[in-house]
Amino acid sequence: MIWISDDAIARLGSLPELPDLSGTRYRLIGELDRGGMGVVYAAEDLVLGREVAIKVLRSGLLRADAADRLEREAKILAALEHPGIAPVHDAGTLADGRSWYVMKRVRGTRVDEVATSRITLAESLRLFARICEPVAFAHARGVVHRDLKPENVMVGEFGEVLVMDWGVAKLLRDDGGPASETPEPATSPSSASPLDHVAGSRSLTSDGDVIGTRGYMAPEQERGETSAISQRTDVWSLGAILRDLATAACTRERRSLPKPLAAIIAKATAPGPADRYASAAELAEDVVRFADGHRVSAYREPVWERALRWIRGNRTAVAVVLAYLVMRTVIYLWFGR
């Protein structure tokens, strides 16, 4: 009798799912991650001699809608050229019919892991503002992520921030969804957006479909109101990420959540879309204003708090004035006797 370990059995069981990259320029290295629709593998680009990531449709998901969704994700990523979004290099179909695409191999730490490290509140807020940048860029081009969560945000080896996994992204121009609230740059009649050919394809979701991750889904997502999805849906998810980062940092620093910051989070995660920030950029602006010690739009500041904030922001000037007043008082008392 030959004894086979559980690990060996598991590896043998996964062999049918491993992508056959023969006939391509890529050599399989190993699995990196997997989700409900696809598996991400590390591979070597034999032509350019670099490591890349290949997302392949899971075996057994040869349905047309699954293949369409992966192809749609690749096209959306290819059209969103931003430093905070991993670029797509190649795409195709395996011999077994599974779709795949090649993207940048991202190395780094997930934001949920960063949140548990010794990062300060100030550092957390700066990090959050950078998360908003690629999301705002996508919104300006009519794309809503729909699954923003800490696990889908990576901080690279050199501090770069990348928003990952656009597999359930929605084009706002699809299926009668709300129009983008951010004006797009004017284009000439002859010019076309890289996303036009994606928008022309059939929609892959309809009302009643619940898409997202519990705890980071806006109320309209929880209710399956696909036609109600807008930029403000992603704003809700960003607010939940901000809540996690700020709460973790404040817990480490043994302080309560500052009222203006709590108000920002409350506005971003308001139940009604109309009560939230209109865009990711607007949310980031308020967060940066708070980090810089300025007044924020989400919080009605009492006069005494405004005075304390001004004093904290002008410590040097206040110290000079106080020193001058003390000196004048001492001189007056000494010579006025």
Q: Tell me the pLDDT band of 265, cut-offs 50, 70 and 90.
A: very high
Same domain, 130 and 241: yes
How many angstroms separate the CA atoms of 266 and 275, rounded?
10
- Spell out the residues 6+ positions from residue 300 whose beta carbon is closer than 8 angstroms to its own: none
> Considering the domain boundaries, does residue 9 fall inside one?
no
Residues in the chain: 337
Same-domain pairing of 218 and 277: yes
Range of the domain at 60: 14-105
Whole-model pTM: value is 0.80
Residues 114, 99 share a domain: no
Q: Measure the N-to-C terminal CA separation of the chain; round to a whole number of Å.
A: 108
Q: What tens digit of pLDDT does each residue of 171-199 get?
A: 987 544 444 454 444 444 445 566 765 65
* Better-scored residue on pLDDT, 4 or 278: 278
Mean of pLDDT values over 299-322: 60
Residue 296 lies in a domain: no
Beta strands in the chain (DSSP E): 26-34, 38-45, 50-57, 88-93, 99-104, 108-110, 143-144, 153-156, 161-163, 170-171
Q: Give the residue from 88, 105, 122 where a domain finishes.
A: 105
Q: Are the C-beta atoms of residues 220 and 208 closer than 8 Å to each other? A: no
CB atoms within 10 A of CB 151: 16
Number of domains within the chain: 3
List the CATH number of the domain containing 116.
1.10.510.10
Identify the band that residue 110 occupies on the pLDDT scale cut at 50, 70 and 90: very high
In a domain, 8, yes or no: no
> How much is the pLDDT for 187?
42
